[in-house]
Amino acid sequence: MDIVFINDLDIETVIGIYDWERKIRQVVRVNLEMSTDVRKAAASDRIDDALDYKAVAKRLIGFVENSSFQLVETLAERCAEIVLGEFPVGWLRLRVDKPGAVRGAKSVGIVIERGRRP
């Protein structure tokens, strides 16, 4: 199994359950591992044969910036649905962090796995 990853993608969005959180934008940090077969891209050296991580990142940035969820769980699930539905990915592990959400903790968040692990 080959893995294409995106680490520490910081995106501003409206996220949270409290009234004050609904009035501001906060940073969420997305980390993503996606299964794909890189052999064709490696042989051809063409982006058309690869899982384009820049396209994945741009799609997620656009979605997250324009979203307004209460829970990071919901945000993570919707992001996973986008990646699995729009890109040649059979399995993914997605982590969404909400830095500074809990006093004394660097970050809190969720990790989900979706799809069929090869």
Query: Catalytic site residues?
Result: 98
State how far the Cα of 115 lies from the Cα of 78, in Å rounded to an integer. Answer: 13
Query: Which residue in 31, 96, 99 sits closest to 67, CA to CA?
Result: 96
Angle between helices 72-86 and 53-65 in degrees, nearest 10: 140
Residue pointed to by tokens 């396209």:
55
Q: Please state, in angstroms and rounded to a whole number, the distance separating the CA atoms of residues 53 and 83.
A: 11
DSSP 87: S
